[in-house]
């Protein structure tokens, strides 16, 4: 099946630092999405990417859809304590609008003051 | 802001019992999904549903699982005879024409 590997698995950073995490796949995806999950809650959509090479920003977040369509990265600039959580990439396949998401393994972010 | 709502937030059940998890997707969405997340692990796809039928299901979604859209607003996941390994967070999601999935807060199922 499709596998999405995220790195790093976890990060400990200081408030104000920039963060970078990435996701690689063995398969091509049509759409890449990045979600954040707080403990005990559902994933919340951060950014969606629809075209290879696309670079999209949402506030302090920037994400790119890799040219090969097999990878994506997420950057967070000037991290703040509420950035703590688990970040998941998710790829959406080539089967059309209703196709399922395949989630990555997650990157756990801890921010220290 | 429209959101996906799920009930119950937490259910504890005995092994072998039937469980129904309920979801109200975002009102103008047409595609519905169930995912699960075992504690500490990634989110796994169970099933997608469109036009009153299952579009796709994973190998996790065996004969013990079923989904239904009994009326115009609810979307349910039934587990007929729960097993210990069914303990997980179950997330409902819905999407519209853009394909972006929006998730509910989840239902935590604990099987004893």
pLDDT for A3-44, tens place per residue?
889 999 999 999 999 999 999 998 888 899 999 999 889 999
Q: Which of B42, B98, B106 sits opposite A42 (nearest CB)?
A: B106
Q: A24 to each of A27, A71, A106, B26, how far by Cα in Å?
A: 9, 4, 12, 30
Mutate to test the interface with B, among A48, A101, A106 (most CBs of B within 10 A): A101
Section A36-54 average pLDDT: 93
The C-alpha angle B37, B41, B43, rounded to 5 degrees, equals 40
Say whether pLDDT at B80 is over 90.
yes
Q: How far apart are CA B99 and CA A49, in angstroms?
A: 11
Instruction: Summarize pLDDT for A69-108 with one digit per residue, the tens.
Output: 999 999 999 999 999 999 999 998 766 555 788 999 999 9
What is the nearest CA distance from A49 to chain B, expressed in angstroms? 10
Mark yes or no for CB contact A100/B48 under 8 Å: yes
Contacts of A45 by beta carbon, 8 Å cutoff, 6+ apart: A33, A34, A35, B100, B101, B102, B103
What is the nearest CA distance from B102 to chain A, expressed in angstroms? 7
* Residue B99 Ramachandran class (φ > 0 left, ψ -120 to 50 alpha, else beta): left
Tell me which residues of chain A, numbers 50 to 89, contact chain B at a CB-CB cutoff of 8 Å.
88
Say whether pLDDT at A55 is over 90.
yes
* pLDDT band with cut points at 50, 70 and 90 for residue B46: very high
Q: Which of A41, A45, A99 sits opposite B105 (nearest CB)?
A: A41
Instruction: Summarize pLDDT for B14-34 with one digit per residue, the tens.
Output: 999 999 999 999 998 989 999
Res A8: pLDDT = 96
Q: Is A7 on the interface with B (CB under 8 A)?
A: no
Say whether pLDDT at B1 is over 80.
no
Res B99: pLDDT = 80
Q: How far apart are CA A106 and CA A103, in angstroms?
A: 8
Percent composition of chain B: helix, strand, coil (DSSP 3-state, to 5): 5, 50, 45
Mark yes or no for CB contact A100/B56 under 8 Å: yes
Kindly provide the residue ranges of all beta strands, DSSP E only, lying in chain A, ordered along the sequence. Answer: 4-7, 10-14, 19-25, 31-37, 44-49, 55-58, 61-65, 71-76, 85-92, 101-103, 107-112
Res B98: pLDDT = 79
Tracing tokens 């398969």 back to the chain, one arrives at A27
What is the nearest CA distance from B72 to chain A, expressed in angstroms? 19
Q: Which of B4, B31, B103 sits opposite A98 (nearest CB)?
A: B31
Q: Is A48 on the interface with B (CB under 8 A)?
A: yes
Res A82: pLDDT = 93
């Amino acid at each position: 099946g499709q596998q999405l590997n995220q790195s790093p698995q976890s990060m400990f950073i200081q408030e104000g630092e920039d963060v970078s995490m990435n996701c690689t796949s063995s398969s091509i995806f049509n759409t890449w999405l990045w979600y954040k999950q707080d403990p005990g809650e559902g994933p919340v959509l951060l950014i969606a990417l629809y075209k290879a090479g696309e670079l999209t920003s949402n506030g302090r977040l920037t994400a790119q859809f890799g040219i090969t369509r097999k990878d994506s990265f997420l950057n967070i600039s000037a991290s703040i304590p509420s950035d703590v959580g688990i970040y998941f990439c998710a790829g959406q396949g080539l089967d059309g609008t209703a196709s399922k998401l395949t989630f990555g393994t997650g990157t756990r972010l801890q921010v220290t003051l | 802001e429209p959101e996906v709502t799920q009930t119950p937030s937490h259910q504890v059940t005995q092994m072998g019992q039937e469980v129904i998890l309920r979801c109200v997707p975002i009102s103008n969405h047409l595609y519905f999904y169930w995912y699960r997340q075992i504690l500490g692990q990634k989110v796994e796809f169970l099933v997608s549903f469109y036009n009153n039928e299952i579009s796709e299901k994973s190998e996790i979604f065996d004969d013990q699982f079923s989904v239904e859209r009994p009326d115009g607003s609810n979307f349910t996941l039934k587990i007929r005879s729960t097993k210990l390994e069914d303990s997980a967070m179950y997330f409902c999601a819905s999407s519209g024409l853009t394909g972006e999935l929006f998730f509910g807060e989840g239902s935590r199922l604990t099987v004893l």
